[in-house]
Amino acid sequence: MTTDHDERRSTDDHGHDIINPLHVGIVTVSSSRAREDDPNDPGGDTIRDCFEADGHEIRARLLVRDDYSAIRTAVRRLVARRDIDVVCTTGGTGVTVDDVSPEATSSLFERELPGFGELFRSLSWDEVGTRAMASRATAGIAVDTPVFCLPGSKSACETACDELIVPEAPHLAGLATRHRTGTTDQTLAKYRDE
């Protein structure tokens, strides 16, 4: 049985597995926006714009409050969907008591991608100097889906997406799903039902 991934799967100029175009899910983490029903979402809009500018498609956008369980549930549901190749969260990566996005997302990771956070903070150094150390941006693979946990600012999301995520996500999604090419994945059911 073939999947939608199989139809979009190919190789790049170097023979690496890729999925292109990507289908993307975005989770905006913000207690203030969730309470006030504020349509302003600079982080989420920036992520959308970066992916769409490269020909990818946004399949889902969710807004959740700064709450471990709410964030984890939203991300878990998106990675369980067969029509989502990559998930990006925006917000909740700082050092305040309610900044729990890294903990909520990383609890789902089967494999971490520590290089993302390291590279992001290095790029951020050029923009914000020593404040880059306060960012806890992280990434990993959950249910064969690359997940990126980004700060909430427009500038941070633009740097992360333009410089790191959008160029590499097709390859990461291709590698993460290569083992299930032409098959179904029964493990997704447990994530859908939880």
Domain ranges of the chain: 21-193
Question: CA 51, CA 22: separation in Å to the nearest integer?
Answer: 8
* pTM of the complete model: 0.88
9-64 pLDDT, tens per residue? Answer: 888 888 788 899 999 999 999 977 655 566 789 999 999 999 999 999 999 999 99
Tokens of 160: 């992360």
131-141 pLDDT, tens per residue? Answer: 889 899 999 99
122-173 pLDDT, tens per residue? Answer: 999 988 889 889 899 999 999 999 999 999 999 999 999 999 999 999 999 9
Give CATH for domain 21-193: 3.40.980.10
